[in-house]
Amino acid sequence: MKRFTGIIVVLMFTCGVLAAGVPNGVMAKLKQLKEQHRINEYYSTAFMALAQAPDNLDLLDATAEGLEMIGALPRAQAVCERILNMKPDRAQTEKRLENIKKNLAKINARIRELQAKIDKNPDNGQNYVTLAFVYIGLKDYSNARIAVNKAIQNAPSNPLTQLARSTYTQQLDEATKKAIVLSQDALGAYNKGRVAEAWTLFQNAFTLSIISPFVYETYATFLVKQKKLGGALRALEEQHTIHPDPGQGLDLGNLCYLLKRYNQALAYYSEEFKYSRYSPKAHYNMGLCLMKLGDKKGAKEQFAIAFKEMPKLKTMKLDSVYIRGVKFKI
């Protein structure tokens, strides 16, 4: 009964966000969650509210703060940098970013120190144990898994090895697998018309785990289907920070193009070329961006490359782009 009641509360809150954009009630809810030390829910509430107000600096700052409190410092840093790109003189964000960088510098120094000890004595399992806890704290799934496996290999009887393995399994591995299932269920619920249930399932997924790029990608698809493009951009930015994938450049670029963020779109389209030299659609879309920015010469150059790589583009009616499989007119 307690679990059911909790779901109803989340559902009511989520519907409130949907109905009223980002009301003062959201910020009041965030304050309450922070005071109650419900940090994962604090993050999921702030992040998901961005679907309604993707450029709200207070929500972005709360998202960064949530990531910082959870321990995902590199991602908190990335969000702060996005905020400062939007408003360079935002003092509270500058202060947060400074503190994050200081803490990351200390942690990275510790990682280098441990790695040097491992290089000197690769059979010492204790160093892997310590390294595993550092990566678990950072919510770095991949490196934590490697360090835990090395600790098990080199110090299987060490009680701290078993603790590291248990912590990794419960906090990262199992939680992430459950979050992935929840996100799939959420998209399935949306496709069957159960929109409010989908929002609740996604919030439960993000409250449970923040480290799966798949969950963010699925959430982005959910938002794109609802034409919430700003929120989808925020979701794909998080996915891209967790797992940089040049193959996502076209989706990110198309989102920015539709949002009229042409310089940002150009940067993302350019990432496509890290993935493949052959990307005529990226070249063509870069040409569209340059036209919007008034650079006719640059646009002409990009169109020429696109037509050379795919001659049929000249005769195709290119009046739309696709994002996560959804067609949008341009």
The pLDDT score that the predictor gives to residue 6 is: 42
State the pLDDT at residue 22: 58
Full domain range(s) for residue 74:
2-173
295 belongs to a structural domain:
yes
Do residues 26 and 147 share a domain? yes
Query: For residue 29, is it within any domain?
Result: yes
**Do 46 and 146 have their domain in common?**
yes
Q: Are 169 and 53 within one domain?
A: yes
Judgement on whether residues 216 and 301 belong to the same structural domain of the protein: yes
In this structure, are 8 and 80 located in the same domain?
yes
Would residue 198 count as lying in a domain?
no
* Domain shared by 10 and 117, yes or no: yes
The per-residue pLDDT for 8 is 39
* CATH number, position 58: 1.25.40
Give 45-72 pLDDT, tens digit per residue. Answer: 999 999 999 999 999 999 999 999 999 9
pLDDT tens digits, 112-144: 999 999 999 999 999 999 999 999 999 999 999
Give helix 249-258 / helix 229-242 axis angle, nearest 10°. Answer: 150
Residues 135 and 20 in one domain: yes
Q: Which residues make beta-bridge pairs with 326?
A: 323
152 & 10 share domain: yes
- Give the whole-number percent of the chain exceeding pLDDT 90: 80
Give the pLDDT of residue 7: 43
pLDDT at 296: 95
Is residue 192 domain-resident?
no
pLDDT at 23: 60
Is 155 in the same domain as 9? yes
Domain boundary among 173, 195, 229: 173
221-236: b (≥16 Cβ within 10 Å) or e: bbbbbeebbbbbbbbb
Residue 280, in any domain of the structure: yes
> Do both 233 and 153 map to the same domain?
no
Same domain, 31 and 153: yes
Residue 186 in any domain: the answer is no
pLDDT of residue 276: 73
* Cβ contacts of 101 within 8 Å, gap of 6 or more: 77
Question: Rounded to whole angstroms, how far apart are CA atoms 167 and 173?
Answer: 9
The reply to whether 117 falls in a domain is yes
Q: What backbone phi and psi angles, to 5 degrees, belong to 138? A: -80, -5
What is the model's pLDDT at position 325?
87
pLDDT 10s digit of each residue in the chain, 330 long? 334 334 434 444 444 444 334 567 899 999 999 999 999 999 999 999 999 999 999 999 999 999 999 999 999 999 999 999 999 999 999 999 999 999 999 999 999 999 999 999 999 999 999 999 999 999 999 999 999 999 999 999 999 999 999 999 998 999 999 999 999 999 999 999 999 999 999 999 999 999 999 999 999 999 999 999 999 999 999 999 998 877 788 899 999 999 999 999 999 998 888 777 778 989 999 999 999 999 999 999 999 999 999 998 887 767 888 898 898 988
Q: pLDDT value at position 248?
A: 83
> Looking at the domain assignment, is residue 179 inside a domain?
no
Question: Measured at the alpha carbon of residue 246, what is the angle toward residues 324 and 209, in degrees to the nearest 5?
Answer: 65
Note whether 154 and 219 are same-domain residues: no
CATH of the domain at 238: 1.25.40.10
Count the domains in the chain. 2
